[in-house]
C-alpha cells in the first residue's frame, strides 16, 4: 500500500470513488480546513490550474522500535527546524506561499495562531514579489487575507495593541471564499482577483 507523506493511504480514482463522492452530502462535510485545501490542490493539479502542495514538516527521528521490520514504530522524534507556512507552489508563473488557520472564536481571530518566524517568512516572500496570503476558517466562513494586510494587525499586536483581528476587520480586509463541491475551497479565484 502506498501512503502520502501525511500518512493518508493512496486510493486510485475509479468510478466507484467518484460516484460515492457525488452522493456525499456537502452540508455534513466533517472535513478540516487542511483536508479541504488538500482536495482543492489535487483538483487544481489534475486540471493543470496550479501546482500547490502542503509542505512536509522536517522531523529528526531519534528512537525507533523495531519489533519486526514491517511494524517499525517511531518512539521519539523532534522538529528539525521551525516550519514556515503550510503550502507553496506555482500559479501562472508566480510563486504562491500561504498559511491555513482555523479558529473556534465567535468574535475574533487570535493572532497567537501565528509565530514570529512565520510572519518573517511571509514578509520575505512578499519582498520577492511572491503571492503570499493566509486562508482563515472563522465565523462559519473561509477568508483569504493577503499577507500585506495581515502585517499591520501583527505590528499592532507587537506594539502592545489588540492581540486579535476582529470579525469586522477580517471581513473588511479579506475576500470571502464560498464553499463548493469541486473544488471545495476555490481560493484561486480570490488569488486572481487580488494579484492579477
pLDDT in tens, 75-104: 777 766 566 899 999 999 999 999 999 999
Q: What is the 3-state secondary structure (H, E, C) of the chain?
A: CCECCCCCECCCCCHHHHHHHHCCCHHHCCCCHHHHHHHHHHHHHHCCCCEEEECCCCEEEEEEECCCHHHCEEEEEEECCCCCCCEEEEECCEEEEEEEEECCCCCEEEHHHCCHHHHHHHHHHHHCCCEEEEEEEECCEEEEEEHHHHHHHHHHHHCCCCCEEEHHHHHHHCEEECECCCCCECHHHHHHHHHC
Domain assignment of residue 67, yes or no: no
Domain assignment of residue 64, yes or no: no
Domain assignment of residue 119, yes or no: yes
Asked which of 57-71, 148-162, 179-193 is least confident by mean pLDDT, the reply is: 57-71
pLDDT at 186: 97
CATH number of the domain bearing residue 88: 3.40.1350.10
Stretch 148-177: mean pLDDT, rounded? Answer: 97
For the chain, the domain total comes to 1
Domain assignment of residue 40, yes or no: yes
Domain assignment of residue 13, yes or no: no
**Per-residue confidence at 18, pLDDT binned at 50, 70, 90?**
very low
Of 131, 133, 145, 132, the closest CA to residue 176 belongs to 145
Predicted confidence (pLDDT) at residue 113 exceeds the cutoff of 50: yes
pLDDT in tens, 115-149: 999 999 999 999 999 999 999 999 999 999 999 99
- The pTM of this model reads 0.75
Domain carrying residue 95: 27-56+82-195
Domain assignment of residue 20, yes or no: no
Domain assignment of residue 19, yes or no: no
Pairing of strands 141-146, 73-79: unpaired
**Per-residue confidence at 17, pLDDT binned at 50, 70, 90?**
very low
Amino acid at each position: 500500500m502506498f501512503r502520502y507523506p501525511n500518512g493518508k493511504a493512496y486510493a486510485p480514482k475509479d468510478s466507484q470513488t467518484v460516484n460515492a463522492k457525488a452522493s456525499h452530502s456537502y452540508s455534513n462535510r466533517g472535513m478540516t480546513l487542511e483536508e479541504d485545501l488538500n482536495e482543492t490542490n489535487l483538483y487544481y493539479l489534475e486540471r493543470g490550474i496550479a501546482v500547490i502542495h502542503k509542505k512536509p514538516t522536517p522531523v529528526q527521528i531519534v528512537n525507533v522500535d523495531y519489533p519486526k521490520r514491517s511494524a517499525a514504530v517511531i518512539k521519539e522524534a523532534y522538529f528539525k527546524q521551525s516550519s514556515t507556512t503550510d503550502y507553496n507552489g506555482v500559479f501562472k508563473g508566480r510563486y504562491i506561499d500561504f498559511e491555513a488557520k482555523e479558529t473556534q472564536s465567535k468574535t475574533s481571530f487570535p493572532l497567537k495562531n501565528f509565530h514570529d518566524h512565520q510572519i518573517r517568512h511571509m514578509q520575505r516572500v512578499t519582498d520577492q514579489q511572491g503571492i503570499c496570503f493566509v486562508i482563515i476558517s472563522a465565523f462559519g466562513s473561509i477568508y483569504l487575507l493577503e499577507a500585506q494586510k495581515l502585517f499591520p494587525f501583527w505590528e499592532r499586536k507587537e506594539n502592545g495593541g489588540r492581540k486579535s483581528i476582529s470579525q469586522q476587520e477580517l471581513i473588511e480586509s479579506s475576500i470571502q471564499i464560498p464553499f463548493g463541491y469541486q473544488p471545495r475551497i476555490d481560493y484561486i479565484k480570490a488569488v486572481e482577483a487580488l494579484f492579477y
